[in-house]
Structure 1
Amino acid sequence: MHEKISVFPDTVCVGSNGEHLELTGITKEQSGSYECIASNDISTPDVRTVQVTVNYPPFISKARSTGTPVGQKGVLQCEASAVPRADFEWYKEDRRLFNGLNGVKIENHGKQSMLVFFNVSEEDYGNYTCVAMNTMGITNASIILYGKTNIRFQSMKPWLGALITQLKL
């Protein structure tokens, strides 16, 4: 009896032993559904679909510093791809931040975490660290919340009007 095993999409067979198949050097890009066809000279081929999941540590793909004026709402965003999904923690300097304390809210949505400031103050400005972790590993990124002027043209009108009047004289 001669047994042939084919694995799709890559038609690669390494170390087949009975009902086990060992795939070496697999990457996260190779996660997905595979169709396994086992055939011999005696019976019709047996076809099974197998879902292959490749676990990998977090990789932070988005971490952008943000400028926000005092008194405004500010948001720092951090995005990490990972399998299993990453858990997030936020730090300012060496102090861990917790949801609902010190005027911040931490919102986690899938692979994205946001640190939300409802009313930015001068003390909020500085360097923050987003930490992404899962059972495969841990990584972090530095994100800065910095000040941004909040000058409105309307508030400048009287001043500009007075300046233009003085220039005409």
Structure 2
Amino acid sequence: MWYKGREGERLGIKGPTLTIPNLTFKNGGLYRCLADNKVGKAAHAHVEVFVEHKPVVSIEKYMVNTATENDAELKCIVKAYPVPEVLWQRNGKNIDVHTPRVKLHSKKNEYIENILVITSVQEEDFGQYTCYAKNSLGKVEKVVSLVKTPAIQEFVKPEKPHKDVVLTWKVESKAPVSKHELQYRRRGESEWQNIEPEVTKEDEHKYVVKYTLKGLDAGSYETRLRSKNEHGWSDYSPVMPFEGVLAKHGSTHKSHKKHHHKEKDQKDLREKQLPPPQGTPAQQQEFEQSPPPVGASQNGSEVSRLSAILLSISLLFLFRMQ
């Protein structure tokens, strides 16, 4: 039996040979083969697979909120083989990680966890930082922002809504949050619907934003959020998708009414563009076969034939009289 990873994920494959089709970097790692014939202890052996690939970089938090005189941690996780060089940059220059207030911690397992620690943050420390990773196969960089304004951390996607849709966001801010602005719209539209949810504090510096959309039409939607503290508004979060549900009868939701009127206007426009009714097939046949009305112009050939018949009768009568 074959297992993968240090935690021993069971692969469900038996036999002495493990074949990995369409190999990607995700297949790299530690594998274990376990043999057991129920006699004595099971035997096992390990093999580590290295897949060469350019760096793959992920960021724990793309926006990190802090305040002056507080500490901040910017975390960058890198996976690559050959082992990459990982650097932090700001304004295109490498950050000196040997200064009294800046430290770099690095942990290496199946990946490299690179943590830039800034202690006693000062005004000049706020801004954008770049995690830069490179090896012989390529280079990748990701940007992290250190901010005083609120940091929008996560959108919790609704789970298969059957009745109402609950939009949930998570926000972090050292300074108290005074306001949220949540926006949503049907996908493909340009106009956002604006909502100001209640400010609810979950933990010391963590906030949960929740808002329930009632009577929302079925379809695909998208949402975004920004929050405000004493330092100003945050940037809008990335736009996140979610699905609507069937609207209730008599719903007064603005979006529902707007889409109802839009569909009605489109229907009226289509009806105006249709050609005039032509009648049923039976009516068309009756119209095509009905004789021309009295007084209508007759065919010239029918008149000529009638005149010829009258002339023939007159000549026959005169011949008999002679």
Q: Which residue of 1 aligns with 2:115?
A: 114
Count of aligned pairs between the two proteins: 121
SS of equivalent residue, structure 1 residue 59: strand
Q: Which residue of 1 aligns with 2:138?
A: 137
Of structures 1 and 2, the larger Rg is shown by 2
SS of equivalent residue, structure 1 residue 85: coil
Q: Which has the higher strand share?
A: 1
Write the mapping of 1:1-169 to structure 2, written as runs, cut at 5 A.
Answer: 8-10=17-19, 26-31=23-28, 52-64=49-61, 65-101=63-99, 103-110=101-108, 111-147=112-148, 148-150=173-175
Counterparts of 1:76 and 1:96, CA distance in 2: 15
Displacement of 1:102 in angstroms is: 6.5
Q: Residue by residue, what CA displacement relative to the aligned partner does 1:61-102 show, whole Å, maximum 9, x if unpaired?
A: 224220011000111111111123332101111121021227
Displacement of 1:28 in angstroms is: 2.2
Displacement of 1:54 in angstroms is: 1.2
Displacement of 1:33 in angstroms is: 5.5
Matched to 1:129, the amino acid is T
Matched to 1:62, the amino acid is I
Matched to 2:142, the amino acid is A
Bigger Cα displacement from structure 2, 99-108 vs 69-78: 99-108
Is the 8 Å Cα contact of residues 59 and 142 (structure 2) preserved in structure 1?
A: no
Distance 1:9 1:99, change over 3 A: same
Distance 1:69 1:33, change over 3 A: closer
Displacement of 1:51 in angstroms is: 5.2
Q: Residue by residue, what CA displacement relative to the aligned partner does 1:24-76 show, whole Å, maximum 9, x if unpaired?
A: x63224446699xxxxxxxxxxxxx9754211111112242200110001111
Matched to 1:9, the amino acid is L
Q: CA RMSD in A?
A: 2.9
Distance 1:33 1:113, change over 3 A: closer
Counterparts of 2:93 and 2:31, CA distance in 1: 43
Distance 1:27 1:81, change over 3 A: same
- Structure 1: gaps spanning 5 or more residues: 1-6, 13-24, 36-48, 152-169
Q: Residue by residue, what CA displacement relative to the aligned partner does 1:4-32 show, whole Å, maximum 9, x if unpaired?
A: xxx932288xxxxxxxxxxxx63224446
Displacement of 1:136 in angstroms is: 2.0
Is the 8 Å Cα contact of residues 88 and 130 (structure 2) preserved in structure 1?
A: yes
Displacement of 1:121 in angstroms is: 0.7
Q: Greater RCO between the two (CA within 8 Å, min separation 6)?
A: 1
Counterparts of 1:11 and 1:140, CA distance in 2: 30
Q: Residue by residue, what CA displacement relative to the aligned partner does 1:114-158 show, whole Å, maximum 9, x if unpaired?
A: 11111101100001100012222210001000115546xxxxxxx
Identity of aligned residues (%): 23
Q: Which residue of 1 aligns with 2:159?
A: none
Counterparts of 1:30 and 1:149, CA distance in 2: 41
Matched to 2:70, the amino acid is Q
Counterparts of 2:107 and 2:48, CA distance in 1: 25
Counterparts of 1:71 and 1:11, CA distance in 2: 51
Is the 8 Å Cα contact of residues 91 and 128 (structure 1) preserved in structure 2?
A: yes
Bigger Cα displacement from structure 2, 26-35 vs 67-76: 26-35
Distance 1:73 1:51, change over 3 A: closer
